[in-house]
Amino acid sequence: MLRLASVVIVSSLWLLTSSCGRKEDPAPELEGRWDATRASVDHYDFYNHSTTHNDYSYQPGEQYLVFNGLQCEEHQSIQGVPPMTVFAYSRQGDTLVFTNPTISASLQKRAILEHTKTTLRLRYKIVLGTSGHSFLNEVTYTRP
């Protein structure tokens, strides 16, 4: 009987201490400016075979995102690309959903691979029209 009481007490204490775990920190805010620091781009052909891989690094101010309320501005200084695109956005779990009728559907969802106070890493796929060619982009953004 004493042994049964000991097992019950030890089990109760274990259950009590395991249920009082540390609370998770709230997710960091997206609000503010995020500067692109590096990117990797994989090109896929019509048959979804990887054909090339390129790594890029960005100079400060060359490409960045600004989250403000329910809007995101994407700024870039790449020749032939509009200098700023404005999106409405929402966060659905680990996905950012951008809304802008002037962009392709493939750009509208960006997976969040990492999100800390100072780092935001996104992955998204760009499909080139009906050719079947695509690019898988992974971009790392930072802020102080």
Q: Do the domain assignments include residue 47?
A: yes
Note the pLDDT tens digit of each residue in 9-67: 434 444 444 445 555 566 789 999 999 999 999 999 988 899 999 999 999 889 999 99
Q: Do the domain assignments include residue 67?
A: yes
| Tally of domains in the chain | 1
* CATH number of 136's domain: 2.40.128
Note the pLDDT tens digit of each residue in 56-92: 999 988 999 999 999 999 898 877 676 788 889 999 9
Q: Do the domain assignments include residue 131?
A: yes
Tokens of 63: 């490409």
- Non-local CB neighbours of 123 within 8 Å, separated by 6+ positions: 110, 111, 113, 136, 137, 138, 139
Q: Do the domain assignments include residue 25?
A: no
What is the distance, to the nearest Å, from the Cα of residue 140 to the centroid of all Cα atoms in its chain? 9
Q: Do the domain assignments include residue 103?
A: yes
Contact assessment for residue 55 and residue 36, using Cβ atoms and an 8 Å cutoff: no
Q: What is the pTM of this model?
A: 0.76
Q: Do the domain assignments include residue 5?
A: no
Q: Do the domain assignments include residue 65?
A: yes
Instruction: Give the 3-state secondary structure of residue 15.
Output: helix
Range(s) of the domain holding residue 47: 32-142
Q: Do the domain assignments include residue 21?
A: no
Block residue for tokens 């805010």: 29
For residue 106, the model assigns a pLDDT of: 62
Contact assessment for residue 82 and residue 90, using Cβ atoms and an 8 Å cutoff: no
**Is the per-residue pLDDT at 8 higher than 60?**
no
